[in-house]
Chains A and B, each alone.
Chain A
Amino acid sequence: MAQDAALTSSGEVALPAGLKGVAGDWSADKQTFIVPWGKAMMWIFLLSDTFIFSCFLLSYMKVRISTPVPWPNPSEVFALSFGGDPIPLILIAIMTFVLITSSGTMAMAVNFGYRRDRAKTALLMLATALLGATFVGMQAFEWTKLIVDEGVRPWANPMGAPQFGSSFFMITGFHGLHVSAGVIYLLVVAWRVWSGFYDRKGTYETVEVAGLYWHFVDLVWVFIFAFFYLW
Chain B
Amino acid sequence: MSTAEGQQHPISIYLWIWGLLFVFSAFSYAVDYFQLQGYLRWSLILLFMFLKAGFIVAIFMHMAWERLALITAILGPPVVLLVFIGLMVSEGEYTEGNRLEVFAQQIFVPAEHGATNH
A-to-B contact residues, CB < 8 Å: 15, 17-19, 21-22, 25-26, 32-36, 40, 43-44, 46-47, 50-51, 54, 58, 61-68, 75, 88-89, 93, 96-97, 100, 103-104, 106-108, 110-111, 114-115, 203-205, 208, 211-212, 215-216, 218-219, 222-223, 225-226, 229-231
Contacts and interface: CB of A to CB of B under 8 A. Distances in A.
A149 B2 CA distance: 52
A104 B14 contact: yes
Interface in B69-101: 69-70, 72-74, 77-78, 81, 84-85, 88-89, 91-93, 95-96, 99-100
Contacts of B2: 34-35
Report, nearest first, the 4 A-B pairs whose CB atoms are least far apart.
A65-B92, A66-B95, A25-B69, A104-B18
A65 B93 contact: yes
B28 A103 contact: no
Nearest to B48: A226
A76 to B, nearest CB: 11
17 contacts: A21-B69, A34-B2, A58-B85, A65-B96, A66-B93, A75-B32, A88-B33, A97-B22, A104-B15, A111-B9, A204-B6, A208-B6, A208-B7, A226-B46, A229-B32, A230-B28, A230-B32
Of B67, B85, B103, the most chain A CB neighbours within 10 A belong to B67
Interface residues of B, number: 57
Given A22-B69, A32-B69, A88-B33, A108 B14 contact: yes
A64 B88 CA distance: 11
Given A22-B69, A54-B84, A65-B89, A114 B28 contact: no
Contacts of A107: 14, 17-18, 59-60
Interface string B94-114: 011001100100000000000
Interface string B31-51: 111010000011001101100
Contacts of A114: 5-8
B115 interface: no
B84 to A, nearest CB: 6
Contacts of A230: 28, 31-32, 41, 45
